[in-house]
Amino acid sequence: ISSPIGGAELLFDGVKKHQVTLPSQEEPWDIRNLLLWIKKNLLKERPELFIQGDSVRPGILVLINDADWELQGELDYQLQDQDNILFISTLHGG
Amino acid sequence: MCQVGEDYGGPGPAELQPKLSWRGCEQKCMKCKEGLPVLIIRAGDAFCKDCFKAYYIHKFRAMLGKNRLIFPGEKVLLAWSGGPSSSSMIWQVQEGLSRESAKRLRFVPGIVYIDEGVVCGQSPEERAKTVTEMKLILQTVGFPYHIVSLEEVFNLPTSVLQPVSQGPRGSENTYKEAVDGFIQQQQQQQRVPEEGGREAVLSDEQIQEKLRQLSTQDPVGQEEVTGDSLPRPAQIMALMTLFSSVKTLTAREELLQTLRAHLILHVARVQGYSKVMLGDSCTRLAIKLMTNLALGRGAFLAWDTGFSDDRHGDVVMLRPMRDYTLKEIAFYNRMFGVPSVFTPAIDTKAPEKASIHRLMESFILRLQAQFPSTISTVYRTSEKLVKAPRNGDAAGAATARCLLCMCALDIDSADSATAFGAQTLEHLAQKPSPAPAPPTGASGRPCCAQGTRLQQDCCRDTRPLSEREEPRASFIEQLCYSCRVNMKDVPFLEPLPPYILMESQCRRQRAWEKQEIQEFLFEESEEDKDEIYQD
């Protein structure tokens, strides 16, 4: 499972692409869990500029395999092996 | 409103091979009813990739077609920041120019990029890297381009702050005449070299050739504007001093916008562009509208957020991307490989409440997340705003303009119960010495009247101005309400670029002379006065 980050990369030490292997857990991984995991493991600073509440900050788009996450259940989408999750910030100043 | 053209309705080839079976997406593209949807726009309309592309391209052409402001053969400057919206705009123009002759856009484009690295915390090395990246993209686009650093504001002439009045034009008839004339002219040109022949193909080549010539000429043109590719260290320092002297991020952002606008205008004038295209998206404009309201620019919303902005007279600013949401733009750029360059902005990584701009952005976007029609509602409002006629007469010397934002002054005469009046009063309370004399120029239209209930008559209270404070007081007098409020956070005038200070002094001188002359005149009607003054 990989998750490249576009635009908002500054909060991730400037790294745009993250190839990550998620630890196995009992319940299946969904986006909701992934965000929590990212917050804990990948975000380098100011998590509030990326995550608000249990979702991404309004203005940050989420693409699952290059398609709108709104088509795929948003937070409830269950991750598959080799999924490509892309975050694009449309906020001013990235 | 423009509906998606039915002529695009042909079922798009469903080339999209999904890697996985997506759960919860039983739906099909709402346009062709066949393709797999890849994104949802507006209120829940799912589009497939092909239909989205057609929809996106059509929208750009419809926006230009509907407004009929760009004349064939006209030089149009595309203001490019490297960000997604303006990048997408350039690609749309390129797409439009590469069409077969009947549908081709007929204007002559050029691109301007303003390097603001110094105020956004980029090191000289980072700036050089960004500019190299920009150039690489610009070269693939193939339009003539101008790269200007923000430091150039220290070399601007005062003429930037003087609107050039131009006779009214652009009515339906003249537009049609211009188009017909252009087509005829083009046909004649084609007949000369090759009797009849393949006109369309030939003209394509001609234009491509022309563009190539322009591009090769470019280094010369660039030299003219920038002088040197790298700004001098003294100017870098001066700019940093200026921006670090400004007390709040809100005021810094406003100052940057003002200086940027002046630079773009200057490049357009020097290079002979009569239109400038800005990349403001619908999302950005909705935020800007609310922000500007909060900043006290309510009187100028129609100029600041409308499709066209004619405040400078000869050069008209256009916003052709105003129908696109940032979501559409981001998806389009991603799907069709439109390159953009990420550069930090002045407020990058700033906390949410760091400035009015920032706060308004998160307010609108959060509201949008819960009420999906928020942005479009605000945006539609901006469409309906009408530019108020300036006191009946045509623009000219008669209307006093704000020194910085160049809008007609919205200030009140003395004695008003408005936010403006309150602001003047506050100013007096803080600094007792510089009591601003009543505004010298034409007393503006009734102010935007933001209902402050303060009754005062501060302006009649003309205490003597202290010598040292005088320049600042008269500088402030030449500004609109919003720019006045903004200048409160700019404690020193000295670091401002010379063209602003010189123009300010010039205006003060002129006002003073006018007053001198008037002392020798009998009381006359406004018109007579003007006549004598002009003589």
B331: which chain A residues are within 8 Å (Cβ-Cβ)? 61, 63, 68
The DSSP secondary structure of B519-531, one letter per residue, reads: HTS----HHHHHH
**A68 interfaces chain B, CB cutoff of 8 Å:** yes
Higher pLDDT, B442 or B53: B53
pLDDT surpassing 90 at residue B143? yes
By CA distance, what is A52's nearest residue in B?
A: B366
Q: With contact defined as beta carbons under 8 Å apart, do A43 and A52 qualify? A: no
Residue B497 structure tokens: 């670029």
Residue B106 structure tokens: 């007929």
- Of the pLDDT bands very low, low, confident and very high (cuts 50, 70, 90), residue B101 is low
C-alpha distance from residue B422 to each of B387, B435, B444 (Å): 26, 14, 17
- Of the pLDDT bands very low, low, confident and very high (cuts 50, 70, 90), residue B195 is very low
Stretch B130-150: mean pLDDT? 92
**A14 interfaces chain B, CB cutoff of 8 Å:** no
First to last CA, chain A: 25
By CA distance, what is A73's nearest residue in B?
A: B24
By CA distance, what is B369's nearest residue in A?
A: A58
Q: pLDDT digit string (tens) for B158-167? A: 999 988 876 5
Adjacent-strand bridge partners of B277: B78, B318
The backbone torsions φ and ψ at residue B136, rounded to the nearest 5 degrees and listed phi first, read -60, -45
Residue B88 structure tokens: 């997408």
- Of the pLDDT bands very low, low, confident and very high (cuts 50, 70, 90), residue B244 is very high
Instruction: Answer whether B362 sits within 8 Å of A58, measured CB to CB.
Output: yes
By CA distance, what is A10's nearest residue in B?
A: B349
**A63 interfaces chain B, CB cutoff of 8 Å:** yes
B20: which chain A residues are within 8 Å (Cβ-Cβ)? 65, 80, 83
For chain B, the residues whose C-beta falls within 8 A of a C-beta of chain A are: 18-20, 22-25, 27, 37-40, 46, 84, 283-284, 287, 326-327, 329-331, 334-335, 342, 344-352, 357-358, 361-362, 365-366, 368-369
pLDDT of res. B215: 46
By CA distance, what is B281's nearest residue in A?
A: A90
pLDDT surpassing 80 at residue B81? yes
Instruction: Answer whether B362 sits within 8 Å of A90, measured CB to CB.
Output: no
Q: pLDDT digit string (tens) for B299-330? A: 899 999 999 998 888 899 999 999 999 999 99
Higher pLDDT, A45 or B250: B250
Q: Which helix (H) or strand (E) holds B39?
A: strand B37-41
Q: pLDDT digit string (tens) for B387-405? A: 766 554 444 445 688 999 9
CA B383/CA B515 separation, integer angstroms: 41
What chain A holds in terms of domains, given with CATH numbers, is 8-89 (3.10.20.30)
**A47 interfaces chain B, CB cutoff of 8 Å:** no
Q: What percent of chain B has pLDDT over 90?
A: 38
Q: What percent of chain B has pLDDT over 70?
A: 69
- Of the pLDDT bands very low, low, confident and very high (cuts 50, 70, 90), residue B72 is confident
Q: Which helix (H) or strand (E) holds B245?
A: helix B233-245
- Of the pLDDT bands very low, low, confident and very high (cuts 50, 70, 90), residue B248 is very high
Instruction: Answer whether B24 sits within 8 Å of A71, measured CB to CB.
Output: yes
pLDDT of res. B232: 79
What chain B holds in terms of domains, given with CATH numbers, is 49-161+230-384 (3.40.50.620)
Q: With contact defined as beta carbons under 8 Å apart, do B79 and B277 qualify? A: yes
Residue entry with tokens 């009408």: B386
* Maximum separation of any 2 CA atoms in chain A, in Å: 39
CA B310/CA B238 separation, integer angstroms: 31
- Of the pLDDT bands very low, low, confident and very high (cuts 50, 70, 90), residue B229 is low
Q: With contact defined as beta carbons under 8 Å apart, do B6 and B26 qualify? A: no
pLDDT of res. B319: 94
Q: pLDDT digit string (tens) for B16-35? A: 333 334 444 457 888 888 88
Q: Residue B116: which of B16, B256, B221, B219 has the closest Cα?
A: B256
First to last CA, chain B: 50
The backbone torsions φ and ψ at residue B513, rounded to the nearest 5 degrees and listed phi first, read -60, -45
Stretch B71-92: mean pLDDT? 93
Q: Which helix (H) or strand (E) holds B41?
A: strand B37-41
B109's CB contacts (< 8 A; 6+ apart) are: B75, B76, B77, B78, B93, B97, B143
pLDDT of res. B219: 39
Q: With contact defined as beta carbons under 8 Å apart, do B240 and B137 qualify? A: no
Q: pLDDT digit string (tens) for B438-488? A: 443 334 333 333 333 333 333 333 444 444 457 888 898 889 889 999 999
Stretch B323-350: mean pLDDT? 89
Q: Residue B77: which of B41, B39, B107 has the closest Cα?
A: B107
pLDDT surpassing 50 at residue B510? yes
Residue B346 structure tokens: 């002045």
Stretch B357-382: mean pLDDT? 91
pLDDT of res. A38: 86
pLDDT of res. B416: 57
- Per-residue pLDDT tens digits of chain A, which is 94 residues long: 455 554 466 676 666 777 777 777 778 888 888 888 888 888 877 888 888 888 888 989 999 888 899 888 888 888 888 888 888 888 886 5
Adjacent-strand bridge partners of B506: none
- Secondary structure E strands in A19-82: 51-52, 55-56, 60-64, 67-68
C-alpha distance from residue B437 to each of B407, B440, B483 (Å): 21, 8, 18
State chain B's mean pLDDT as an integer: 76
Instruction: Answer whether B350 sits within 8 Å of A7, measured CB to CB.
Output: no
What ipTM was predicted for this assembly? 0.90
pLDDT surpassing 80 at residue B239? yes
Stretch B91-117: mean pLDDT? 87
B284: which chain A residues are within 8 Å (Cβ-Cβ)? 92
Rounded to a whole number of angstroms, the distance from the CA of B25 to the nearest CA of chain A is 6
The DSSP secondary structure of B475-534, one letter per residue, reads: HHHTS-HHHHHHHTT---STTS-HHHHHHHHHHHHHHHHHHHHHHTS----HHHHHHHHH
Instruction: Answer whether A65 sits within 8 Å of B20, measured CB to CB.
Output: yes
Instruction: Answer whether A66 sits within 8 Å of B335, measured CB to CB.
Output: yes
